Amino acid sequence: MLKNCVFKDSVNTRKWMVNAGIRAVKTMAQTAVAVMGTSTVLSAIDWRMVLSSAIVAGIVSILTSVAGLPEAPCEGE
């Protein structure tokens, strides 16, 4: 479960941070598009809700990435 956990010595922390950041930004963009898609017209979009939902999704993505990222394998592998 915690194969590529960021807290292991064999995981390159800098590489993990870059990969986790990229993954979080992608998740935030997907969430923003999904929330905007629920509005019937562009003028009805609640931008505060879009932004807050995207931020929460980014935080959850980072926390999920702590368990491990396939993009940042252990150095011994």
In the predicted structure, residue 57 carries a pLDDT above the cut 90: yes
From the list 20, 19, 5, 18, the residue with the least C-alpha distance to 74 is 5
Supply the pTM of this predicted model.
Answer: 0.78
Cβ atoms of 24 and 61 within 8 Å: the answer is: yes
Mean pLDDT for 22-41 is 90
Cβ atoms of 75 and 11 within 8 Å: the answer is: yes
